A and B are shown apart, each in its own frame.
Chain A
Amino acid sequence: MSPSSDGTVPAEGKAPSQVHPRVGLFITCLADIYRPNVGLAAVTLLERVGCTVEVPQSQTCCGQPSYNNGDLDGAARTARHTIAAFEEFDYVVAPSGSCAGMLRDYPRLFEAEPAWRQRASDLAAKTYELIAFLTDIRGLQAVEADFPHAVTYHDSCHGLRAMGIKAQPRRLLASVRGLELRELPDAEVCCGFGGTFCVKYPEISGRMVADKATQIGETGAAAVLGGDLGCLLNIAGRLGREQTGVRVYHVAEVLAGMADLPGLGDPPAAGGLKDPTGPAGGSR
């Protein structure tokens, strides 16, 4: 790979001065357990834009299950833990708009504790979702990767609305060789995951993800990409139930050129997507 061709140049006026910022990778519980490849892809991308990546071993969960179910003390307990694990870094980066958004919300948990509130605010200020960090902070404009397939993209709600992530993944996907992006008609409509919502009200959640799966199918894409594993597990679960054959990958896997393995919920022996000569192909 030619180093200058991947466009990894910090955007003017936005980039911090550090050449090699120390980035603490917040892996998120779902990526840690379900899809380590997302973490490895994140590390690859972060290193390509000059970051020194470290993975604090004491990290666990962002606290969102407690926060969104009304247990603010539990959320604060988890938050203190995360703050202590990550506050030494220049940046905290998570391959999830939802979990990064939670870290940005930490100051709200410490209204009555000024010292912790300050630490939470400091952490929130340097926390980013992976793709937004690569583009907005490190100025990444293109990646070095092949994915010769038609794909569609689901905008996860927290990334979209809390973190303003919409154009960034599309800009980078446009640089992936062979990739054709087919937009979903309701790309900004929730897939029905919603954390514990999906098990508290499974029938409603199921209807929402069924609608999403139908629209994904109608694009004719070979794969659906997204930036949050919660949504992707939900979507993959529905697509798998319908046996559509549509693959599900985290966008970082494709951008890092590491989507050469079965998608979420595919049989381990399925391998990567076959180079398309068939109808699902992305050749333009």
Chain B
Amino acid sequence: MQSQSHAFPERAVHALHDQTLQVALRRAKDGFAVKRAVAVAGLPEFDALRDRAVQIKNHTLEHLDHYLEQYAEAVERSGGTVHWASSAEDARRIVVEICRAADAKMITKGKSMVGEEVGINDALEGAGFEVVETDLGEYIIQLAHEPPSHIIVPAVHKTRGQISDLFHENHQKYGLTRRLTEVPEMVNEARLILRDKYLAADVGITGANFLIAETGTNVIVTNEGNGDLTCSLPRVHIVTAGIEKVVPTAEDASTLLRLLARSATGQDLTTYTTFSTGPKREGDPDGPDEYHVVLIDNGRSTMLADQFREMLRCIRCGACMNHCPVYGAIGGHAYGWVYPGPMGSILTPLSVGLKEAGHLPNACTLNGHCADVCPVRIPLPDLLRTLRHQEYQLHLGAKRLRWGLAAWVWFTSHPRLYRLGTRVQARMLALLAGRKGRFTRMPLAGGWFRGGRDLPAPQGETFMAAWHRRQRDPGQRAQAQRNLDQREQAQREQGQ
């Protein structure tokens, strides 16, 4: 997918003024955070599980080559085929080739963020296949020709009214002409349409939540059951997965599953957890004839080798964006690529480059809420700061900020000058603000005021000056001494 991250500031402002989007965001914001908090409170061992999850992920990443080989062997043993894609282009080519070889016409898809990352849909449609997203949220944004705005609820930015319009417009061709306004009606209509697609599909493509190395099993979680129908009904099942999805054992996957849904939607478990291993065996009532796994690197092995390795622990739960006040204000599309929010602000520059996506690591207050809720304890603010450091070293940021910082460091390294400068500044600002006590505008400080706020004026005297005055005043010094004496007396009384 083509990145628009360079235009983040404009896209963010646009999002802030999009009233429909703001309605959708406000509705979503509280839901996730509250549900997660309730789920976490109901599981006393949640933090211990997080520690265990970090261990599992770190261990796997440390031995990633080993576990990938183990996984690939297990897949082949079960009759499946493993394909290695080092780039997005490779991944697209491999998937298109499998579909061509299967003589496919209709392809159903389960939700897959890595599929979005490498641009599977466009490649397949460009090759002449009909592609249908079966996750309801993905189905909606496919109709709207939009990318997902959230990694687990891709259509979170859409209101019911917008979805009603989309269905009305796109379902006419199926003879469904009545405009629907109630959610259950709309869900039923989508279900009706998707059912025929499932039955007609030649190929089903899903992502992976976990790949179990010991058994060659793919695990996906859904709430709609669309994953089961996508991987078991068509003749061919293709799994697209990032190489970091592998875990050693089913036990490890189970540990991570306990964290995933709680962190994502506040559920103990998602409605469906689907395990698929290889193609249909003799005697199996259903399942695909062919089972393919496309293991996608696309920059992940580079991350493994550098200071962003911890990012590969990410299990794509979305908790970081659900708790991010910036995401909550602007939604996912402003970020301009596939992954939004805190995790996206790290993955996007690593994928499309800091020059293109330099805004993202900067558009963060470093408030730390994301790291607080991350089930695998990724130090997201630290990684964002590391990206800012790289940006600084590459001279990519705004020149004015760079000069400003240099001037500030010089100023703060000269205490006498600093004392004088701050005294003058405090006095001047207090005088200029006058009786009002605050500024409504100020030259060279436009950014502050563009945030729709005044600037409080200083009291007038710096603390350092006030402190000096106090030190020279014998009365004040005596008071300080009395404070200490009282304190000693209190301690003596306490001791008795």
CB distance from A86 to the nearest CB of B (A): 13
The CA-CA distance from A8 to B447 in the complex, in Å, is: 44
| Nearest CB in chain B to that of A82: its residue | B412
A204 beta carbon closer than 8 Å to chain B: yes
| Residues in chain A near residue B390, CB distance under 8 A | 70
Taking residues whose C-beta sits less than 8 angstroms from the other chain, chain A's interface range is 35 or more
A236 beta carbon closer than 8 Å to chain B: yes
Q: A204-B330, A208-B329 in contact; A236/B456 too (CB < 8 A)?
A: yes
Within B373-399, the residues touching A (CB, 8 Å) are 385, 387-393, 397
Contact A241 B453 (CB under 8 A): yes
Within B434-480, the residues touching A (CB, 8 Å) are 435-438, 440, 445, 447-459, 461-467, 470, 480
Q: A197-B364, A197-B365, A265-B457 in contact; A72/B409 too (CB < 8 A)?
A: no
A39 beta carbon closer than 8 Å to chain B: yes
| Nearest CB in chain A to that of B326: its residue | A204
B181 beta carbon closer than 8 Å to chain A: no
| Residues in chain B near residue A284, CB distance under 8 A | none
A234 beta carbon closer than 8 Å to chain B: yes
Contact A157 B367 (CB under 8 A): yes
Query: Of B134-142, B231-239, B265-273, B400-408, which binds chain A?
Result: B400-408
Contact A204 B459 (CB under 8 A): no
The CA-CA distance from A205 to B464 in the complex, in Å, is: 31
Contact A9 B491 (CB under 8 A): yes
Q: A29-B422, A198-B451 in contact; A161/B405 too (CB < 8 A)?
A: no
| Residues in chain A near residue B455, CB distance under 8 A | 233, 237, 265
Q: A4-B493, A202-B451 in contact; A57/B415 too (CB < 8 A)?
A: yes
Contact A265 B425 (CB under 8 A): no
| Residues in chain B near residue A203, CB distance under 8 A | 12-13, 16, 450-451
From B368, B405, B425, B463, contact of A31 by CB (8 A): B463
CB distance from B361 to the nearest CB of A (A): 9
| Residues in chain A near residue B412, CB distance under 8 A | 29, 60-61, 63, 78, 81
Contact A3 B486 (CB under 8 A): yes
The CA-CA distance from A48 to B464 in the complex, in Å, is: 21
The CA-CA distance from A242 to B277 in the complex, in Å, is: 61
Contact A190 B453 (CB under 8 A): no
From A32, A59, A202, A206, contact of B462 by CB (8 A): A32
Contact A78 B409 (CB under 8 A): yes
| Residues in chain B near residue A178, CB distance under 8 A | none
Query: Of A116-124, A129-137, A165-173, A266-274, which binds chain B?
Result: A266-274
| Residues in chain A near residue B326, CB distance under 8 A | 201, 204, 208
* B320-358 contact mask (Cβ, 8 Å, vs A): 1 or 0: 000001100110000000000000000000000000000
Contact B13 A240 (CB under 8 A): no
Taking residues whose C-beta sits less than 8 angstroms from the other chain, chain B's interface range is 35 or more
B489 beta carbon closer than 8 Å to chain A: yes
The CA-CA distance from A249 to B279 in the complex, in Å, is: 67
From B13, B329, B401, B445, contact of A69 by CB (8 A): B401
| Residues in chain B near residue A20, CB distance under 8 A | 484, 487
From A9, A68, A77, A262, contact of B366 by CB (8 A): A68
Contact B325 A208 (CB under 8 A): yes
The CA-CA distance from A30 to B307 in the complex, in Å, is: 33
Contact B490 A9 (CB under 8 A): yes
Q: A9-B490, A61-B408, A68-B388 in contact; A158/B452 too (CB < 8 A)?
A: no
A221 beta carbon closer than 8 Å to chain B: no
Contact B405 A265 (CB under 8 A): no
B372 beta carbon closer than 8 Å to chain A: yes
Q: A3-B487, A49-B487 in contact; A39/B363 too (CB < 8 A)?
A: no
Within A230-254, the residues touching B (CB, 8 Å) are 233-234, 236-238, 240-241, 248
From A81, A190, A195, contact of B413 by CB (8 A): A81
From B362, B450, B461, contact of A206 by CB (8 A): B450
The CA-CA distance from A71 to B394 in the complex, in Å, is: 11
| Residues in chain B near residue A125, CB distance under 8 A | none
Q: A34-B456, A237-B448 in contact; A70/B391 too (CB < 8 A)?
A: yes
| Nearest CB in chain B to that of A39: its residue | B463
| Residues in chain A near residue B84, CB distance under 8 A | none
Q: A48-B483, A59-B415, A209-B453 in contact; A35/B405 too (CB < 8 A)?
A: no
B191 beta carbon closer than 8 Å to chain A: no
Q: A33-B458, A201-B9, A240-B453 in contact; A157/B487 too (CB < 8 A)?
A: no
Q: A27-B464, A78-B413 in contact; A8/B365 too (CB < 8 A)?
A: no
Contact A8 B405 (CB under 8 A): no
Contact B484 A66 (CB under 8 A): no
Within A1-50, the residues touching B (CB, 8 Å) are 1, 3-4, 6, 8-9, 19-20, 27, 29, 31-40, 43-44, 47-50
Q: A32-B464, A197-B362 in contact; A70/B484 too (CB < 8 A)?
A: no
* A64-93 contact mask (Cβ, 8 Å, vs B): 1 or 0: 011111111010011001000000000000
A174 beta carbon closer than 8 Å to chain B: no
From A72, A81, A236, A248, contact of B389 by CB (8 A): A72
Contact B451 A65 (CB under 8 A): no
| Nearest CB in chain B to that of A237: its residue | B453
| Nearest CB in chain A to that of B386: its residue | A70
Contact B325 A189 (CB under 8 A): yes
From B435, B454, B464, contact of A237 by CB (8 A): B454
Contact B401 A196 (CB under 8 A): yes
The CA-CA distance from A4 to B493 in the complex, in Å, is: 8
The CA-CA distance from A200 to B397 in the complex, in Å, is: 11
| Residues in chain B near residue A8, CB distance under 8 A | 487, 490
| Nearest CB in chain B to that of A270: its residue | B437
The CA-CA distance from A52 to B392 in the complex, in Å, is: 41
Contact B486 A240 (CB under 8 A): no
Contact B466 A40 (CB under 8 A): yes
CB distance from B393 to the nearest CB of A (A): 7
Contact B462 A60 (CB under 8 A): no
Closest 6 CB pairs of A and B: A194-B365, A265-B456, A199-B447, A70-B392, A206-B451, A237-B453
Provide a sorted-by-A list of 20 A–B residue pairs whose CB atoms are within 8 angstroms.
A9-B491, A20-B487, A37-B459, A39-B463, A40-B466, A43-B467, A53-B480, A55-B467, A67-B385, A192-B325, A199-B445, A201-B12, A203-B16, A203-B451, A206-B451, A237-B448, A237-B454, A237-B455, A238-B451, A268-B435
Beyond A9-B491, A78-B412, list 8 extra A-B contacts (CB 8 Å).
A9-B490, A19-B491, A34-B458, A36-B462, A36-B465, A69-B405, A197-B365, A211-B329
- B residues in contact (CB < 8 Å) with A: 9, 12-13, 16, 325-326, 329-330, 362-369, 371-372, 385, 387-393, 397, 401-402, 405-406, 408-409, 411-413, 415, 418-419, 422, 425-426, 430, 435-438, 440, 445, 447-459, 461-467, 470, 480, 483-484, 486-491, 493-494
